[in-house]
Amino acid sequence: MKVVDRDKVRNELLTILTELREDWEYSNEITEQTGIFSDLEFESIDAVALGSAVEEHFDQSLPFAEFLIKAGERQVKDITIGDLLDFLMANLDGAKGRPK
């Protein structure tokens, strides 16, 4: 099984986000503390597009909808890039059980 490295996944996630936000006016650096709704001004449809882009990039089906639903149930004010990275590390093949 291919081992997935957190730094590599972070870099790939940032690349995906950069490609998705080409038309957006966000000019600050994207970090693990960046909120996808408050900072990147995602709408729910953008979050769906992000989930699809991540699945396509990693060539793997992920429980992204469940991740968003659980965040809503916990009444999370925003989902950060770090939250997304934690989700990916918990769900990508080869990343399960890896330390954060």
* CA neighbor of 4 nearest in space, from 69, 83, 59: 59
Q: Region 36-65: what's the mean pLDDT?
A: 91
pLDDT of amino acid 94? 66
Helices (H), the chain: 6-20, 44-58, 64-73, 81-91
Q: What pTM did the predictor assign?
A: 0.82
Give the separation between CA 25 and CA 68, rounded to whole angstroms: 24
* 16 token code pair: 């995906």
pLDDT of amino acid 3? 58
CATH architecture under which domain 6-22+30-91 falls:
Orthogonal Bundle (1.10)
